[in-house]
């Protein structure tokens, strides 16, 4: 094996040929970061396979509902009755069944209220709700009141209420493959959303004396019984959302006859509840929404809604809805609603995209909401499964953002004068896409929200980010941008928990980054940096296809992405989902080598130049004038061979050695020695903990640049420090790790070599303050500058 001489600034060393010998690595550091998850995942079985797909014995129970309910607008109360047929598709006989009574969360004695922790800040004070969680619910008599539980024959059934759960004891166990039918009568007082902080309820508008009702978690719902947990009857504490099962619904909602209702499912009796002109407009909206600029048809106009606000109801109407294969049912009702609609083509099927909103939401909602609904259905359908339902609503009221099958409640309200800030507009875009997107996760891919918030919120936030960028390429989709999760990942490990934590155990103040942004960012990193778009998109779509209308667990997601892509991601799940360590890579130093041609005519000239440069010290410069005064200069007898010897002169022996060397090289080795290739040894540290791909940008002296990418497995033999040789034909003037902010590196200050000076935090703070104090939004400023303009621009 021939040796090639490499030079590093002022030093000549001999190393094995880089063509045939790997570089010497730093000492190894044994680690288990790239071992398989193994026992951290449940053992595959006939219910859930090792590939991540449902097994041959997978089952899920279902419940069909026939509900009749009345909304009392004078007392803000709902009274209802339901007949439920529960189908036991498991292999177990069930002697009792569990239902959820979510409204009981708002009872003063509820475990959710009793376990809230609180304190008072001596300087900032505290709200009444912070001091006493029961302050806003005292004397309200909130919670489900169960007045009757009967079997199919009308005979009373024994039941037990435990906080937000109710167990019905059956006279005979429901055998595998059999069903049982029972009825429940119930009522509850609707909560004031803003005072209680609820996911559903009412908002009162003092100016016109009317209400908007956004109603959810309103009827006793069956708990899930599955192969993982048996009965999922974990109490509703308010943070962890819902674990539900599919079924068919027929729901009759009796409301004041001037109300407009939107709900899960298809309206069955439009002729009985809509006026002739409203039915005509409904028909005009059919098939509309495929062309750019095609605006919704307004079925109930703002003028009609304002007229209803001022009038009084003369009776009631019953709106009948039917919904098949859904996991829940929700509705909204108000006389304040404007109603607009499109019916775009979504993957070959016409789907109603609709919005309900009061005049207070215009002009923002009239311009954007329904168009956003249509856009979301198209975007998500392309990436997951075709939207299977006939309709999707976006409703504006008191709830800032909540999702239910075919209907969502969304915030983002303009100022009273009709203007709005850019952040309000962006929030509307984001929240409508997010909440409508929840139709796919978890309404179709039916994960357990009570246990794993990230499985719907994280996946949906990732999809939301992609859909937002498809809506507007300049949209600030920070929820999937790695650099925006950095502040959360910089937190001390005692102030965060792994993504793989039960929903109710996520620390206060961190639910957003933990369940939404961090998993969404992780998926975006998989797509852009680890797997690539093609592999990721196929695997993600396969997960949605496998688990549509089924109930996946985390292992099913992890295994499916690996199974469908052929990429081992166990190291990634460990770091991002099971741990709390940050990402922090550092470029410690870069050593520069060049191949030495060994031509003595060149090498000795270079050596002479280098030696002369080293001799040019400040002392020698100052002594130059007295050089003739030295002993050797004045006495020739003090000179010998070495005073005349030139070590840098080329000899015949040097030339012969060079010719012998050249004749021994292969063509490839000759090319390397003559090309002037630069060899750079990068010394890297993994200071954060999570091993991630290494992305390096090289900026060359000629003004061009290049990117080198190395998979995360580069850390498998040493997860703390590594070295990597990069060969280039051009000289590199600047090296930068993670140049496109792909890996959520928490300390980019040490990502450059040579180090790059950056403004101090104090300088950055001062720069940020130069914008001045906040004032009117830009729309208001424009109005102030043009007082002659009339109106608010509302539709």
SS3 per-residue string spanning 121-181: ECCCECCHHHHCCCCCCCCCCCCCEEEEEEECCCCECCEEEECCEEEEEEEEEECCCCEEE
Q: What is residue 22's predicted lDDT score, i.e. its pLDDT?
A: 42
**How confident is the model over 624-632, as a mean pLDDT?**
81
Task: Flag whether pLDDT at 73 surpasses 70.
Answer: yes
Q: What is residue 664's predicted lDDT score, i.e. its pLDDT?
A: 84
- For residue 663, what pLDDT band results from cuts at 50, 70 and 90? confident
Q: What is residue 790's predicted lDDT score, i.e. its pLDDT?
A: 42
As a whole number of angstroms, the distance between CA 277 and CA 267 comes to 17
Q: What is residue 380's predicted lDDT score, i.e. its pLDDT?
A: 98
289 CB burial (10 A radius; 0-12, 13-18, 19+): buried
As a whole number of angstroms, the distance between CA 569 and CA 506 comes to 24
**Average pLDDT over the chain, rounded to whole?**
91
List the single range of 374-378, 618-622, 705-709 with lowest mean pLDDT: 618-622
As a whole number of angstroms, the distance between CA 77 and CA 201 comes to 10
- For residue 767, what pLDDT band results from cuts at 50, 70 and 90? low
C-alpha closest to that of 456 among 508, 410, 499: 499
Q: What is residue 673's predicted lDDT score, i.e. its pLDDT?
A: 72
Q: Which two tokens stand for residue 789?
A: 């303009």
CA dihedral in degrees (568, 571, 572, 573; nearest 10)?
100
Q: What is residue 237's predicted lDDT score, i.e. its pLDDT?
A: 94
As a whole number of angstroms, the distance between CA 452 and CA 454 comes to 5
Q: What is residue 29's predicted lDDT score, i.e. its pLDDT?
A: 86
**How confident is the model over 764-784, as a mean pLDDT?**
64
Contact 8, 660 (CB under 8 A): no
pLDDT digits (tens, 9 = 90+) for 462-504: 999 999 999 999 999 999 999 999 999 999 999 999 999 999 9
Task: Flag whether pLDDT at 351 surpasses 50.
Answer: yes
Q: What is residue 665's predicted lDDT score, i.e. its pLDDT?
A: 80
Task: Flag whether pLDDT at 299 surpasses 50.
Answer: yes
Instruction: Tell me the range of 365-369, 604-608, 727-731 where mean pLDDT is highest.
Output: 365-369
The pTM of this model reads 0.89
725 alpha carbon, distance to own chain's centre:
35
Identify the DSSP state of 346: E
Query: How close are the terminal C-alpha atoms of the chain, in Å?
Result: 82
Compute φ and ψ for 613, nearest 5 degrees.
Answer: -65, -40
Q: What is residue 666's predicted lDDT score, i.e. its pLDDT?
A: 86
- For residue 126, what pLDDT band results from cuts at 50, 70 and 90? low
Identify the DSSP state of 707: E
List the single range of 9-13, 78-82, 405-409 with lowest mean pLDDT: 9-13
Contact 526, 572 (CB under 8 A): yes
**How confident is the model over 306-316, as a mean pLDDT?**
97
Contact 658, 556 (CB under 8 A): no
764 CB burial (10 A radius; 0-12, 13-18, 19+): exposed
Provide the sign of the torsion angle of the four alpha carbons 354, 360, 361, 366, taken in this order: positive
- For residue 791, what pLDDT band results from cuts at 50, 70 and 90? very low
Long-range contacts of 666-673 (CB under 8 A, 24+ apart): 668/19, 669/2, 669/4, 669/17, 669/19, 672/4, 672/18, 672/19, 672/595, 673/4, 673/595, 673/596, 673/597, 673/598
Say how many C-beta atoms besides its own lie within 10 A of residue 772's C-beta. 6
**How confident is the model over 650-659, as a mean pLDDT?**
86
Q: What is residue 782's predicted lDDT score, i.e. its pLDDT?
A: 78
Contact 157, 70 (CB under 8 A): no
Q: How does DSSP assign 574-608, residue by residue?
A: IIIIS----B-EEEEEEEEEEEE---HHHHHHHHH
Say how many C-beta atoms besides its own lie within 10 A of residue 213's C-beta. 24
**How confident is the model over 419-448, as a mean pLDDT?**
98
As a whole number of angstroms, the distance between CA 438 and CA 457 comes to 8
**How confident is the model over 62-81, as a mean pLDDT?**
98
As a whole number of angstroms, the distance between CA 87 and CA 791 comes to 57
**423 or 15, which is more confident:** 423
- For residue 117, what pLDDT band results from cuts at 50, 70 and 90? confident
User: Could you give the angle at the alpha carbon of 609 between the alpha carbons of 604 and 610, nearest 5°?
Assistant: 95
pLDDT digits (tens, 9 = 90+) for 23-52: 444 568 888 999 999 889 999 999 999 999
Contact 700, 728 (CB under 8 A): yes
42 alpha carbon, distance to own chain's centre:
25
Task: Flag whether pLDDT at 271 surpasses 60.
Answer: yes
As a whole number of angstroms, the distance between CA 783 and CA 613 comes to 71
As a whole number of angstroms, the distance between CA 581 and CA 491 comes to 9
Residue with the two structure tokens 């998993």: 519
Residue with the two structure tokens 């919120």: 457
**How confident is the model over 200-225, as a mean pLDDT?**
98
Helix, strand, coil shares of the chain, percent, nearest 5, are 30, 25, 40
Compute φ and ψ for 512, nearest 5 degrees.
Answer: -60, -55
**120 or 293, which is more confident:** 293
Q: What is residue 771's predicted lDDT score, i.e. its pLDDT?
A: 46
Task: Flag whether pLDDT at 607 surpasses 90.
Answer: no
Compute φ and ψ for 346, nearest 5 degrees.
Answer: -120, 105
Q: What is residue 524's predicted lDDT score, i.e. its pLDDT?
A: 98
As a whole number of angstroms, the distance between CA 693 and CA 738 comes to 9
Task: Flag whether pLDDT at 459 surpasses 70.
Answer: yes
**How confident is the model over 179-197, as a mean pLDDT?**
96
């Amino acid at each position: 094996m021939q040796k090639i001489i490499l030079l590093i600034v002022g030093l000549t060393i001999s190393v094995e040929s880089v063509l045939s010998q790997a570089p010497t690595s730093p000492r190894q550091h044994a680690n288990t970061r790239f071992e398989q998850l193994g026992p951290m995942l449940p053992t595959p079985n006939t219910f859930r396979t090792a590939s991540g797909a449902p097994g041959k014995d997978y089952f899920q129970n279902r419940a069909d509902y026939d509900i009749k309910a009345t909304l009392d607008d004078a007392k803000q109360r709902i009274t209802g009755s339901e007949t439920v047929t529960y189908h036991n598709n498991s292999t177990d006989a069930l002697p009792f069944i569990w239902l959820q009574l979510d409204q009981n969360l708002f009872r003063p004695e509820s475990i959710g209220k009793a376990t809230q922790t609180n304190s008072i800040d001596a300087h900032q004070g505290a709200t009444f709700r912070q001091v006493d969680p029961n302050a806003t619910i005292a004397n309200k008599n909130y919670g489900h009141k169960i007045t009757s539980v009967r079997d199919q024959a009308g005979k009373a059934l024994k039941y037990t209420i435990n906080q937000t759960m109710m167990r019905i004891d059956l006279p005979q166990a429901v055998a595998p493959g059999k069903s049982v039918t029972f009825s429940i009568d119930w009522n509850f007082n609707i909560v004031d959303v803003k005072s209680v902080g609820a996911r559903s309820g009412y908002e009162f508008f003092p100016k016109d004396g009317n209400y908007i009702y956004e109603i959810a978690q309103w009827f006793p719902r069956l708990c899930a019984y599955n192969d993982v947990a048996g009965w999922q009857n974990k109490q509703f504490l308010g943070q962890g959302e819902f674990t539900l099962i599919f079924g068919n619904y027929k729901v009759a909602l009796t409301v004041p006859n001037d109300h407009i209702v939107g709900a899960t499912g298809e309206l069955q009796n439009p002729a009985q509840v809509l006026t002739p002109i409203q039915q005509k407009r409904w028909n005009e909206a059919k098939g509309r929404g495929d062309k750019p600029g095609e605006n919704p048809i307004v079925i109930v106009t703002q003028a009609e809604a304002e007229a209803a606000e001022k009038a009084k109801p003369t009776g009631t109407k019953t709106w009948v809805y039917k919904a098949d294969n859904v996991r829940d049912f929700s509705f909204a009702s108000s006389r304040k609603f404007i109603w607009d609609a499109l019916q775009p083509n979504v993957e070959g099927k016409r789907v109603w995209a609709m919005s309900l909103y009061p005049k207070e939401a215009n002009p923002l909602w009239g311009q954007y909401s329904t168009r956003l609904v249509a856009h979301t259905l198209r975007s998500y359908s392309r990436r997951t499964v075709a939207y299977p339902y006939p309709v999707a609503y976006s409703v504006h009221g008191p709830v800032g953002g909540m999702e239910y099958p075919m209907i969502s409640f969304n915030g983002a309200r303009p100022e009273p004068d009709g203007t709005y800030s850019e952040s309000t507009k962006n929030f509307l875009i984001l929240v409508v896409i997010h909440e409508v997107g929840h139709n796919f996760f978890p309404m179709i891919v039916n994960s357990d929200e009570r246990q794993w918030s990230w499985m719907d919120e994280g996946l949906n936030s990732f999809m939301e980010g992609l859909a937002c960028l498809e809506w507007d390429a300049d949209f600030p989709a920070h929820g999937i941008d790695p650099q925006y999760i950095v502040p959360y990942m910089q937190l001390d490990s005692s102030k965060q928990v792994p993504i793989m934590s039960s929903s109710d155990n996520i620390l206060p103040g961190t639910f957003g980054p933990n369940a939404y942004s961090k998993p969404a960012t992780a998926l975006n990193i998989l797509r852009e940096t680890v797997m690539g778009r093609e592999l990721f998109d196929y695997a993600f779509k396969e997960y949605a296809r496998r688990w549509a209308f089924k109930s996946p667990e985390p292992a099913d997601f992890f295994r499916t992405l690996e199974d469908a892509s052929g990429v081992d991601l166990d190291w990634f799940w460990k770091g991002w989902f099971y741990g709390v360590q940050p990402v922090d890579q550092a470029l410690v130093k870069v050593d520069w080598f060049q191949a030495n041609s060994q031509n003595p005519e060149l090498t000795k000239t270079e050596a002479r130049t280098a030696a002369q440069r080293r001799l040019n010290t400040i002392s020698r410069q100052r002594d130059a004038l007295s050089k003739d005064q030295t002993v050797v200069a004045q006495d020739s007898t003090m000179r010998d061979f070495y005073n005349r010897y030139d070590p840098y002169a080329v000899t015949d022996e040097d030339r012969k050695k060079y010719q012998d060397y050249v004749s021994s090289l292969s063509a490839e080795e000759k090319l390397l020695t003559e090309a002037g290739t630069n060899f750079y040894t990068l010394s890297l540290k993994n200071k954060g903990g999570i091993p991630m791909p290494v992305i390096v940008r090289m900026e060359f002296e000629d003004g061009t640049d290049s990117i080198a990418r190395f998979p995360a497995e580069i850390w498998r033999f040493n997860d703390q420090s590594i070295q990597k040789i990069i060969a280039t034909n051009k000289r590199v003037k600047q090296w930068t790790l993670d140049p496109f902010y792909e890996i959520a590196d928490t300390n980019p200050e040490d990502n450059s070599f040579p180090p790059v000076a950056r403004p101090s935090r104090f300088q950055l703070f001062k720069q940020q303050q130069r914008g001045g104090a906040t004032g009117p939004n830009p729309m208001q400023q424009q109005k102030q500058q043009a007082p002659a303009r009339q109106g608010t621009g509302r539709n």
